[in-house]
Structure 1
Amino acid sequence: MAASLLQRCVLFTRGSAKCTKHAFTARRCLLSASYLDAKIWEQRQKDPQNLAELASLMDRTYDRNLPVSSLTIARFVDNISSKEEVDQTDYYLYKFRHSPNCWYLRDWTVHSWIRQCLKYGARDKAMHTLKNKVQYGLFPDDLTFNLLIDSFLKDDDHKGACSVVEEVMLQEAFDTASTRILSLYALAKYLATKPALSWEEERNVGASLLIAGLKEENSTGLSAQLLGYALLGKVEQSRGIRAVYHQMPLIWTPGYLSRALAVMETVCSAAEDVKLSKEALDCLEGVLRDASPASEAGVTEGDGDAQETEDSQTGEAVSEEDQLERAKLPEYASRFQELSGKLQSLERVDASSLLALVSMLSEAELAVAERADGEQYAGKVQEWEEERHHLIQREKELREKAQQERQARLAAKAKAKALAQAQASA
């Protein structure tokens, strides 16, 4: 009876008893309750402020063409208490970014802003400021990214989670194991839905898979690299190399499909426990197969000696290096078949999907990664508090100094006035 009940629960949550294992791993891929607990953050010393007074202070300061201090904007963010105040804070974050003090937006202010957005149901506002980071100056740390990714995953909004992962990729902020695992899970989960991707989305997802996978020297990381290179190679073949690297943290040298084959070669000579996902291999095979006709259509007949031709599909100029790369497709296809056969003979092909591999990686490593993050976060919050108290003390000293200077000026003015009156009476 218990087994039957468990089966019904799995059927209800995932739609099929075949997903029992995946349902468990998917749940574990989300951050634990202890990781999400805001206790450490909430234990900071409070600094209650009236937002109306702070807003008035900032408005007067800006009107006088003076810089607003980072402490003032930090206080404003920390004292948000409603979604309406989140919307109001958006304006002052923008103003601060376009002020002389823009470089001094504190890390804890960025973290606090994302927490406040999540707390008051304004995740769309957090994403708006994150996507427009140049205009707002918001560059979150790993743990802050994790909180945002996790919030999307819990709502089964995998496309939204991938939007956050894209920002992590653009910042090349995959140094933390927990961020890599969450990011790879979000990407794999999204791809599992078989979305119809534009070429820009293929490039962004491919770059995210590649850069995150480069940090993982295991089957999951290598499979992510292979899939990333395949997607980027597809974009390179259809749009040209510049479309791949423009405004992206990617190498501008042609040959992304060649690099995908290099990953296969690496696995062929790697340790026995390293394998490649069949899903990633199938994707690369499909790219090589589908790109071949495009390579023929991409070069106009009779223009073989020209340095640039026009792609018949995109209507865009095709550089000589792009033409040379497209000409290598038959060689790449042949090399793929050779390496694929070698991987099969060595039993280095894993039938599991990328999502399954990431789920297994999560089961093995996420708990340890969470503990490491927790220790680092506690130390970081302490450092932030020390820095904040230092700024508060400095602000107090400056105010006292300004008050003393003001009193000295008033005293000097009064003395001069008295002297003038004495001279006049004499």
Structure 2
Amino acid sequence: MAASILQRCLSPVKTFTKCVSYTSIVRRCLLSSAYTDSTVWDQRPRDVQDLGQLASLMDRTYARKLPVSSLLIARFIDNLSSKEEVDQAQYYLYKFRHSPNCWYLRDWTIHSWIRHCLKYGARDKALYSLKNKVQFGMFPDDFTFNLLMDSFIKDEDFKGACSVVEEVMLQESFERVSTQILSLYALSRYLATKPELSWQEERSMGASLMLAGLKLENSVGFSARLLGLALIGKVELSRGIHAVFHEMPLIWTSGYLGRALAVMNTVCDFRDVKLSEEVLDHVEKILRDLSVNADGPNVSDTSLEEEDELETQKLPEYISRFNELKERLVSQDRIDSRSLGSLVSSLTQQTLALCEDADIAEYQQTVSVWEAERQQLIQRERETREKNQKSRL
């Protein structure tokens, strides 16, 4: 009887422990407060300026058809203090991008712009400037990308997070493991909602999955590569190879479905690497849908070239090869029953904390380098002003 009473008392504790464990896993899938903390950035020596005077100076400079210095636009961004001023700053970033000094927008100015957008609830402005990077000159570093991506993820806006991932993919900025993990987390969570994707979105999603998983030699990396290549292959067979690589960092050699199957073949030869069952089901559905479309009337508004037609003719071979490789994976116990999202969450739990430490240390060094460069520009500006004053005298 005492044992039964003890069991009843411990039961709620076990349930509570499970809840705490699950919650900690969910939170660990996000960047920590130490990573997103702005203390290191805010501790830089402040160059307090009047925003109205800076705006007036830039307007007069542009009116005289003279270039605005990168230091002036940096001061303007650094002194933003409200959402309304962020809105105003977007105009001056656009003007600077279309001026003779357009190539000199400093990395720290881009970082400052993103931080101010996040601080004052203008995340949409940050994303808009990223999506229109040619017009605004927005090419952030990986750490800045991570901050913006994490903000969307924490608000469970996975579509917005995937829009940031797309920009990371287009800039081929998957160098940091933390960026790879955050990107795959956003992509897997968005795909779990089963969204209706256009072929352009499938291409972008496929390229992002493939490139983000390319450097991860584990189940997450191989599963992401497989699904990414399959999505790109779907676009290739339905729209043609030119639709695949147009304005994308992808090779223009046909055969993306063949590369997807090569990933499965590689996993068959790997130890301690498995493929997500969910991903395999997704690839199987892609092949099945392509087969149905190939047998039916051509409803695509795109005329395929001879090279694309040859690739389409390989579809029965791809389907047969997929079934053969899947049987091998089953026989070798190389299929993981967990979804891609679960695999990514598990990897995050194991890896992200270590990645954060390295990223934060590097960020501190980067801020120091940026500050040294800024001080050099201030000194050069001071010397130029003194030289001009002497010449006038």
Structure 2 counterpart of 1:138 = 138
Deviations for 1:234-288, whole angstroms, at most 9, x for unmatched residues?
11121111111111111111111100000001001112x1111111111111111
Shift of 1:292: 1.0
Structure 1 counterpart of 2:371 = 385
Structure 2 counterpart of 1:356 = 342
Distance 2:154 2:14 in 1: 21
The one-letter amino acid of 1:292's match is S
The one-letter amino acid of 2:117's match is C
The one-letter amino acid of 1:203's match is R
Shift of 1:136: 0.3
The one-letter amino acid of 2:223's match is S
* CA distance 1:3–1:81, change in 2 (3 Å): farther
Distance 2:386 2:353 in 1: 49
Structure 2 counterpart of 1:275 = 274
Find the residue that maps to 1:317 and give its secondary structure: coil
Q: Which runs of 5+ in 1 are unaligned?
A: 11-16, 299-311, 408-426
The one-letter amino acid of 1:385's match is E
Shift of 1:37: 0.9
Shift of 1:293: 2.4
Structure-to-structure mapping, 1:244-255, within 5 angstroms: 244-255=244-255
Bigger radius of gyration, 1 or 2? 1
Deviates more, 1:139-148 or 1:314-323: 314-323
TM (normalized to structure 2)? 0.95
Distance 2:228 2:17 in 1: 35
Shift of 1:297: 3.7
Structure 2 counterpart of 1:331 = 317
* CA distance 1:6–1:33, change in 2 (3 Å): farther
TM (normalized to structure 1)? 0.88
Distance 1:215 1:265 in 2: 18
Q: Is 1:342–2:328 an aligned residue pair?
A: yes
Structure-to-structure mapping, 1:298-317, within 5 angstroms: 312-317=298-303
Deviations for 1:10-40, whole angstroms, at most 9, x for unmatched residues?
8xxxxxx8xx865432210100011111110
Structure 1 counterpart of 2:352 = 366
Structure 2 counterpart of 1:306 = none
Distance 2:262 2:183 in 1: 24
Shift of 1:406: 0.6
Structure 2 counterpart of 1:67 = 67
Task: Find 2:361's aligned residue among 375, 379, 397.
Answer: 375
What is the aligned-residue identity percentage?
63
Structure-to-structure mapping, 1:283-302, within 5 angstroms: 283-297=282-296
Distance 2:14 2:81 in 1: 42
The one-letter amino acid of 2:130's match is L
Find the residue that maps to 1:318 and give its secondary structure: coil
The one-letter amino acid of 1:388's match is R
Shift of 1:156: 0.7
**Cα RMSD, aligned residues only:** 1.6
* CA distance 1:166–1:8, change in 2 (3 Å): same
Structure-to-structure mapping, 1:171-320, within 5 angstroms: 171-271=171-271, 273-297=272-296, 312-320=298-306
Structure-to-structure mapping, 1:27-42, within 5 angstroms: 27-42=27-42
Contact 1:170 1:249 in 2 (8 A): yes
Distance 2:85 2:157 in 1: 25
Task: Find 2:383's aligned residue among 397, 406, 410.
Answer: 397
Structure 2 counterpart of 1:302 = none
How many equivalent residue pairs? 385
Structure 2 counterpart of 1:54 = 54
Distance 1:83 1:106 in 2: 22
Q: Which runs of 5+ in 2 are unaligned?
A: 1-8
Shift of 1:185: 0.3
